[in-house]
Amino acid sequence: MLIVLVGVIVLAIPMLVTAAYVFVSLGRPLLFAQTRAGRAARPFKIRKFRTMSDARDVDGALLPDADRVTAASNLLRRSRLDELPQIFAILFGHMALVGPRPLLPETIAEFGADGVYRCAVRPGMTGWAQVSGNTFLSNSEKLQLDLWYVANRSFLLDLRIILETVAVLIFGERRREDRIAAATVARAELARQSTAGQGGAKRVCAT
């Protein structure tokens, strides 16, 4: 908790500067809020600095997301400054600094058993998928990397992810094929063990 409070203090100035930038470039509201799935799939509100305009067509309907992203939005997203308000979700215990990114409840439900396992830990501001390719990854690859993190999480791994996040912010993202391959193999092995276990249970019931 003390570390989070220190983080809030340290990030206060960047958040104020980002808020001013959003106000000047996009206007109000400053924040975007959405319900996401937390640990054990419990819903909570995630807040980010707004990164899309309210541009509308002649009928007053909002334009598609791609048409509402501005140069200012891209800057905020690339630098991840739009994520800064999530420090308060950490303060309130809904999130952790490191963990799988929080997803929509319906997305978690679509994952089935994988979604349940993924939600065994609190979601994070950054995670294994984010330092292993992020925007260069498919949704399936992100899920596999998230599951690998949950199975292998440790203090040292979290520290590594934090340091690599800083490197990503400075040097940019790159796709880590070795990590994707390792996560894919681990998931396949887990599925094989699960199938074998179910087969054994069926044989016992049949005797």
Per-residue pLDDT tens digits for 112-140: 999 999 999 999 999 999 999 999 999 99
Please state whether the predicted TM-score (pTM) of the whole model is above 0.85. no
Q: Which residue has the higher pLDDT, 100 or 71?
A: 100
Return the residue matching tokens 């334009």: 63
Q: Which residue has the higher pLDDT, 72 or 13?
A: 13
In the chain, domain spans: 1-104, 127-207
Residue 72: exposure state from Cβ atoms within 10 A (0-12, 13-18, ≥19): middle
Instruction: Give the per-residue pLDDT at 176.
Output: 97
Instruction: Give the per-residue pLDDT at 68.
Output: 78
Q: How far apart are CA 186 and CA 148, in angstroms?
A: 7
**Confidence label for 196 from pLDDT (cuts 50, 70 and 90):** low
Q: What is the mean pLDDT of residues 69-77?
A: 80
